Amino acid sequence: MLQTIARGRDAYDAIIVGSGATGGVAAWQLAEAGLKVCVLEAGPKITDADFTEHVMPYDLKYRGNSSPYVGGIPKSPDLMRNRPIQGLVYACRESNYKWFADDIRNPYQTPGDSSFRWIRMRVLGGRSLSWGRQSYRMGDIDFRCADRDGYGENWGIEYADLVPYYKKVERHIGLSGIAEGLDQLPDSVFMPPMPFSCGEELFRNRLRARMGRVATIGRSAIITKPHNGRQPCHYCGPCEQGCVTHSYYNSPTTTLKAALETGNCDLVVDAVASHVTKDPATGKAAGVAYVDRTTRVPREVRGKVIVLCASTLESTRLMMHSADYGLDFNSSGMLGRYLMDHIYQGGASGRMPELQAKPWAGPPSRPNGMYIPRFRNIERTHTDGMIRGYGYQGRSGPSFKFGSPGFGESYKRAVHERAEWHTSFGAWCECLPRYENYVALNRDRRDAWGIPTLNINFSWSDNDLALWNDARVQAAEMLEATGHKDVRLTGRPSIGGFCIHEVGTARMGQDPRKSVLNTWAQANDVDNVFVTDGAAWASIGCQNPTLTMMAITARAADYIAEEGKKGRWA
């Protein structure tokens, strides 16, 4: 039997499920608007003491390694035994692995020929603790993509609808970068940019002169000057392990912190959300049922408005499971459909012969790189049968030659003498929304808290793969055009989900017959439930998605607060 909690209040104005990038924004905006808010987080609380960016690998038992196997040989079995999937991602390391979901207790299935890696974090702040921090606006080329090339559906919103909310988020979290004046990559509110390396500066100038393309510094949610009591980045490097100076955006030290400081926000950790509960008198949502992570006691917290920010697939799983308790979100038949991720891990690299490489193993380590905005299908809509486009992330700098001959002093000398200056780029390519990429609830297999798991059905389309191949060829052409030697294509197509940019499955739109949410990210079937994380997306674009998720959340929070003033949620 559910134990109902109200934390000193009969019912909250809003319950937010998830404490990551979008949950933090929802809590901040609603609490500052005067609403009484409760944030549910499935994982434990953390503090600055849990951040390990200054812990050296040689101080750790496994020297900071994470992957459970190398060449079939166990590398850190006692750490990663329960994280065979999470341990594959670059950000999951010996010093922070406990932040990531236990794959044994949190299973999912990929039936048939499907292949998908679901990377999850179960900790206060979620994936905002270890995200890549690359932050880019999307434009009407993305929000109105169906108008341009006839594929899929528009979002039902335009770039102008999000501009005020992009600005609000950017000013609060701090974003460094350079304005370039491109419609396909609208400029943000920027702090001073991180500097280019000399090779990147040379590449940028040559690329513009010889091919008319832009290479800019990465637009990163890392501050470069003091901001709201936070200190600028000191380039220590391993941001995925936390940041004691609070230089990069994560929700516990920025948005969630601001929410808690209002006195209007309560935080409940170790709360594994199960489903949205139903008010039998109104047919609307009444609250959220959850299971205590450590005691497994079932509980419920009640609220007038529910905001799902649990991450794309977790939010959709909550909606699907809610149907078992009488709350159906799927009159359109679209819930769970149109799963997307970026296809990446392909590009090109080359040597810049005119620059002298002097490798250095110590600090500083700039936590950023270059970005080449989309140039494919800008003026036109199709190229060689392909639609949509891609952008690149990469860097240019000296590289060690670890295969050098010698031992001891002679080896060290050879490493430096044979060092070269290299430039490399990888492409992030748009994935088309397809009905056959979907998730479904598996009631026959449940997680450690008795909640049904997901079957994830996913594959790349021919267009996705064509973009990936084209991006590699174009990367090589750009390197050759800018004077690089020994240019080679790199990579192979990534597995779905491994980019950790999964979106879709509860898409927004103007037509309730084709969407799960309306243009305010409000559920068509249950109007006091909002879904503002990546589940709401109708298409994916090629930009990193987090900044746009946060802007959508800020817009929805504004709407919730304004409607509340009219008495709608009473």
Residues of the chain with pLDDT under 70: 1-10, 65-78, 359-363, 402
pLDDT tens by residue, 458-470: 999 999 999 999 9
How far is the CA of 382 from the CAs of 322, 344, 371, 464, 511, in angstroms?
A: 41, 20, 23, 13, 26
Q: Which two tokens stand for residue 458?
A: 């996913």
| Distance separating alpha carbons of residues 224 and 249, to the nearest angstrom | 12
| Distance separating alpha carbons of residues 193 and 176, to the nearest angstrom | 5
How wide is the angle at C-alpha 306 spanned by C-alphas 28 and 275, nearest 5°?
A: 130
* 48, 244 Cβ separation under 8 angstroms: yes
3-class DSSP state of 308 = strand
Give the number of other Cβ atoms within 10 Å of residue 291's Cβ.
22
The predicted structure's pLDDT at residue 7:
46
| Distance separating alpha carbons of residues 356 and 354, to the nearest angstrom | 7
| Distance separating alpha carbons of residues 437 and 416, to the nearest angstrom | 48
6, exposed or middle or buried, with CB in 10 Å at 0-12, 13-18, 19+? middle
Domains of the chain: 3-565 (3.50.50.60)
The predicted structure's pLDDT at residue 411:
82
3-class DSSP state of 22 = helix
What does the DSSP assignment read for 245-279? T--B--GGGTHHHHHHHTT-EEEE-SEEEEEEEE-
Residues with Cβ < 8 Å from 386, sequence gap 6 or more?
376, 377, 463, 466, 467, 470
The predicted structure's pLDDT at residue 67:
59
The set of long-range contacts for 50-53, using a CB threshold of 8 Å and a minimum separation of 24, is 50/242, 51/241, 51/242, 51/243, 51/244, 52/95, 52/96, 52/241, 52/242, 53/236, 53/237, 53/238, 53/239, 53/241, 53/242, 53/243, 53/244
From 246, 186, 267, 242, select the one nearest 219 (Cα to Cα).
Answer: 186
Checking phi first, is residue 71 left (phi over 0); if not, alpha (psi -120 to 50) or beta? left
